[in-house]
Chain A
Amino acid sequence: MEESKDVNRFDDGMAELEAIVARLERGELPLEEALAAFEAGIALVRVLNQRLNEAEARIELLSRDADGALQARAVSEAEIKE
């Protein structure tokens, strides 16, 4: 899971995707480069889609135990709200 968790990765990915699309839209690329750009763009779309669809809707409660160590305990929304 670590690989997809880099803080800035998502909007960097979006920016790169925009750049690829802009290049392709200009229409001046040689065919091989156009195909390579297409492939790179589609791969990025897949990765970013995956990132958005990761369903990890967990809520954790952070506290310190008796020894002062930090611990994060998974809780349900009901515990928090009620």
Chain B
Amino acid sequence: MQLPLEPVALSSVLTVSELNQRIRRALETGFREVWVVGEISNFRIPPSGHCYFCLKDKRNQIAAVMFRSASQVLPFRPEDGMEVIVRGHVGLYDVRGDLQLYVDSMEPRGVGSLQLALEQLKKRLAAEGLFAEMRKRPLPFLPRAVGIVTALKGAAIHDMLTVIRARCPGMPVILRPVRVQGTGAAPDIVRAIADLNEHGGADVIIVGRGGGSLEDLWAFNDERVARAIAASLVPVVSAVGHEVDVTISDLVADRRAPTPTAAAAIVVPDRSDLLSRLDQFALTLRTCVQRRIHQQQDRTAALARHLRNPRQVLKNLRLRIDELAERAARATSGRLRFAEQRLRGAGERLHALSPLAVLERGYSITRRATGGTVVRDASSLRKGDDLRLLFARGIARVRVEGTE
């Protein structure tokens, strides 16, 4: 049998609201400031902009909220699974009786929040393709003018001007000074890049500063600066003097340099080097063309030598022939004499048979005047035919009187 509850004064029985109020007050005093480590889960941001999530460990969890005013100063984006250390206070949302951890500030566990922010931004921009090699443009070999975005009156500008003067004395420089650290730096750098693009005088831009801590260099890891560099129509060289890591500006830029000095050396060529190359070219041109001309002269002289003395050429040829004949004679002397005799004998007999020798004996050759045919038969002649008589010496023109 259930015993009845002990009678209690009605005044000591609380309403729910009273209970919650008491609990809330107890929490407000006892849990005014707590530091809690845990893992984020169920993270969401409704249109109000406040962050609602659960903070949990292996066995327990608590509902948490981080109002927009606190969350918007976070450099990084909280995500499910992220281990964080939060500072806040515990309260009771008494309308619903919900226990609530109100988070004022949050740090990633194990890595600095700036570092984490950097990693997240790097991933995001890389995924967009902003760091791709293909995007990077070549720098002009000899710029019309060099644009510089950096602080006025610092080591960086001093060094850059020194290097530019040393390498390329005539090179114009357009300086657009900026704050290089602090909250206003990133927007200032963004405007500076836009200004130089709009002005149009520079065809390369160096954006940089000297070395410093991660906080000091933060503007060069800013998303807005990265996008401004990506959007620049003029090629950009990033020149952040840093001891450790590469900045996001370095990754987006068309070229990166480890220091401002190095950047200045990249953007302008060494003038004296170029001048000596030009001298070398001029020398080579002259040497080559002279050689070619000499070549031509030699060929022409050789030809001319041949043409100048044809008589000499012939005389030389004749000498050669005589020489050959003599050699030939010496080589064939015996046989030649015998042949000569035979030749002489034959020559005499030929002479006896020749028509000229016959004419010597008193014979004449009769030919018709027209046609020149030799007449052998008197019966072929008619009275009045014209004839030519060939004697051993001379010719007679005769006319036929008659035949027998």
Contacts and interface: CB of A to CB of B under 8 A. Distances in A.
Interface of A: 5, 7-8, 10-11, 14, 17-18, 20-21, 24-25, 27, 29, 31, 34-35, 37-38, 41-42, 45, 48-49, 51-64, 70, 72, 75, 77, 80-82
Contact of B291 (A27, A35, A58, A81): A27
30 contacts: A10-B142, A17-B278, A17-B281, A20-B285, A25-B288, A27-B288, A31-B292, A31-B293, A34-B289, A35-B289, A38-B289, A45-B282, A45-B285, A51-B142, A52-B170, A54-B170, A57-B165, A57-B170, A59-B172, A59-B175, A60-B175, A61-B175, A62-B196, A62-B199, A70-B199, A77-B161, A80-B153, A80-B157, A81-B157, A82-B153
Contacts of A34: 288-289, 292
B281 A81 contact: no
A29 B292 contact: yes
B357 to A, nearest CB: 69
Contact of A57 (B140, B144, B171, B175): B171
A62 B161 contact: no
A81 B175 contact: no
B282 A81 contact: no
Interface of A is mostly: helix
A68 to B, nearest CB: 11
Q: Lowest 3 A-B CB distances belong to which pairs?
A: A11-B141, A24-B288, A10-B142
Contacts of B143: 7
**Most A CB within 10 A of own CB, among B153, B289, B296:** B289
Contacts of A58: 172-173
A70 B157 contact: no
A5 B161 CA distance: 21
Contacts of B198: 70
Given A70-B198, A80-B153, A59 B285 contact: no
Given A24-B289, A41-B285, 17 more contacts: A7-B144, A10-B142, A11-B141, A20-B285, A21-B288, A24-B288, A27-B295, A34-B289, A45-B282, A55-B170, A56-B172, A60-B175, A60-B201, A62-B147, A64-B195, A70-B198, A81-B157
